Amino acid sequence: MLNALAKNPKFTPRRGPVVLAILDGVGYGKYADGDAVALANTPVLDSLTVSCPHTQLKAHGTAVGMPSDADMGNSEVGHNAIGCGRVFFQGAKLVEESIASGKLFEGAAWKEAVSQVISNGSVLHFLGLFSDGNVHSNINHLKEMIRRADAAGVRKIRVHALLDGRDVPETSALLYIDPFEEFLDTFRNRGRDYRIASGGGRMKITMDRYNANWDMVRLGWEIHVHGNGEMFRSAHEAVETLRARTGAIDQDLPPFVISDDGKTPVGAVQDGDAVIYFNYRGDRSLEITAAFESGEDFARFDRGRMPKVFYAGMMEYDSDLHVPKKYLVSPPEITRTFGEYLCASGVKQLAISETQKFGHVTYFFNGNRSGKFSETLEDYREVPSDIVPFEQRPWMKAAEITDQIVEAVASGKYPMIRFNFPNGDMVGHTGDLDAVRVAMGAVDLCLGRIREAVKAAGGVLIVTADHGNADDMLEHDKKGNVKLDAEGRPCRKTSHSLNPVPCIIYDPEGKGEYKPELRTGLGISSIAATCLELLGYSAPEDYDPSVLEFR
């Protein structure tokens, strides 16, 4: 049980709430062309930047617990860092270290999976995101597990490849598939039966989150487990055919099944097999895990034949519910989060977003904790997201979220309010520059309403982000020139950026307690201490420093 926070002797809280606005995927672009944030009509954000204390915060790489500064940030690690006030090694780093040390292969889950398929003469299946984006997974981890499985004597492996095009270039699937087939050839030439068995775009199958669209998971189950779907002789043929037919980028490609005769899938999951889901990030791992692990009471869709398999995840995706039951690498142990300290101090809080980012302002913000710290001091509100392509409705649910925030600010019930506008990230991932400009315009309109509500209530508004995305919508070469495709068109970028994000303090009733120049050189983990200080508390000693310098 945490002790209550000490009061901040240098600051008396304002009469209104502290409101933390997380503009998901909104950073400061490096290039003028492709920066949809700068290109959009955002008079409110522009005005706040010019008139308020502001600084830039690092939101990628080691500042958020990733292996190196070449690694982009993401919403999971970003909200972890914002919510816990310091930096923890995250999934990519933990898995990398566990593989390098060999600890993963010494663990009980790995040994059980390998033992089961060897003793049964059955198949080891690997399912996960097929890229080196290092946000949900890394194909290099998959390759090392295959090497180790081969060394242990596993004769038959099937890979179920979820195509990315979201954390990596939008039509890069064959740049992973073709070298991977050559990699598998080195084992097949020695008599191993190692093959890609199925696949499809990550936004079409399997990787749903927050119960937004269980039909994605159902379709993935049919493809991966039962081998029911359109059949092709190879993943290369599938991607080329489906891309020509649909014009879709990788994340939206329809699913496919590999078959030698056009009738029989090469990799349907059978009794006695073992399945490893090699994504390490939790939000898009929980639903497919539930399909494998839930008993007869599973009611999300009809699973049909339910094979009796050993199932393990790369990591524990929910440390409260202990999901999955078996996993290869232990997740970071994040304790003493911002929200937990506020509960210990008797501060009532509201967290709100739409479905696409609801878990980010709750589960990830609270250090990968699925429940509340206090039923009486925490209110969580989820606005159901639309199930449509985000570029078709780029405003998403910003207005509905704003309605509730404006009401909550005026109510006086919540000294602390946090929310997430998903638009910059979710629409940014589509690669549609025009849609992102609309998305940013919608966010700005809503931000204006919230600013006025905060002003009327005498509160403080903090504007920040978890990582960049909308600020970097075109691929650039090392010289800063826009890359062109074979037809001379600019190459769209659908992944997160490595750019810094804003930290703006709108404090209309400020009395000069802190310097107008905010600290520089900090990461987004500094947001927690900043919020605590503006609430009138001193941050814990081991929290990363606030952006505020008191006089």
CATH number of the domain bearing residue 509: 3.40.720.10
Percent of the chain with pLDDT over 70: 100
| Residue 84 reports pLDDT greater than 80 | yes
| Whether residue 459 sits in one domain with residue 323 | no
Question: Mean pLDDT, the chain, as a whole number?
Answer: 96
* Contact of 496 with 75, CB cutoff 8 Å: no
| pLDDT, position 467 | 97
User: At 486, is the pLDDT very low, low, confident or very high (cuts 50, 70, 90)?
Assistant: confident
Tens of pLDDT, residue by residue over 128-155, are 999 999 999 999 999 999 999 999 999 9
pLDDT for 305 equals: 95
Whether 539 is covered by a domain: the verdict is: no
Instruction: Place 276 in a pLDDT band, splitting at 50, 70 and 90.
Output: very high
Instruction: Give yes or no: residues 459 and 417 share one domain.
Output: yes
In a shared domain, residues 421 and 391: yes
Question: What integer pLDDT is reported at residue 91 of this predicted model?
Answer: 86
- The range of the structural domain enclosing residue 236 comes to 92-329
Number of domains in the chain: 2
**Per-residue pLDDT for 319 more than 80?**
no
Kindly state whether residues 287 and 162 are assigned to the same domain.
yes
Of 425, 419, 421, 435, the C-alpha closest to 470 is 425
Kindly tell me if the per-residue pLDDT of 370 is higher than 90: no
| CA dist., res. 142 & res. 148, Å (int) | 10
SS3 content of the chain, % helix, strand, coil (to 5): 35, 20, 45
Pairing of strands 54-57, 501-506: antiparallel
User: Do 185 and 79 sit in the same domain of this protein?
Assistant: no
Q: Work out the average pLDDT over 380-392.
A: 96
**One-letter amino acid identity for 31?**
Y
In angstroms, rounded to a whole number, what is the distance separating the alpha carbons of residues 547 and 121?
A: 59
pLDDT at 331: 82
80 touches 334 (CB < 8 A): yes
- Looking at the structure, tell me whether residues 96 and 69 fall in a common domain: no
Supply the residues annotated as catalytic: 75
Assess if residue 428 is contained within a domain.
yes
Report the b/e string of 417-430 with b at 16+ CB within 10 A: bbbbbbbbbbbbbb
Q: Which of 329, 360, 393 is the last residue of a domain?
A: 329
For residue 544, tell me if it sits in a domain. Answer: no
Are residues 286 and 419 located together in one domain of the fold?
no
Half-sphere exposure of 313 (CA within 13 A, CB side): 28
Same domain, 256 and 348: no
Name the nearest CA neighbour of 515 among 49, 53, 56: 53
pLDDT in tens, 491-536: 999 999 999 999 999 999 999 999 999 999 999 999 999 999 999 9
Average pLDDT over residues 470-482: 93
Give the mean model confidence (pLDDT) for residues 374-397.
97
Report the chain's C-alpha Rg in angstroms.
Answer: 24
Nearest to 153, CA basis, from 106, 104, 118: 118
State residue 147's pLDDT score.
98
- Whether residue 3 is contained in a domain is answered as no
Q: Mean pLDDT over residues 338-363, rounded?
A: 97
CATH number at residue 286: 3.40.1450.10
Tell me, yes or no, whether 434 and 491 share the same domain.
yes
Cα–Cα distance, 374 to 354 (Å, whole number): 22
> In the structure encoding, which two tokens stand for residue 247, read together?
């014009």
- Choose the final residue of a domain: 329, 349, 373: 329
Same-domain status, 80 and 144: no
Better-scored residue on pLDDT, 406 or 66 = 406
Q: Is residue 340 located within the same domain as residue 436? A: yes
- How buried is 190 (Cβ within 10 angstroms: 0-12 exposed, 13-18 middle, 19+ buried)? exposed
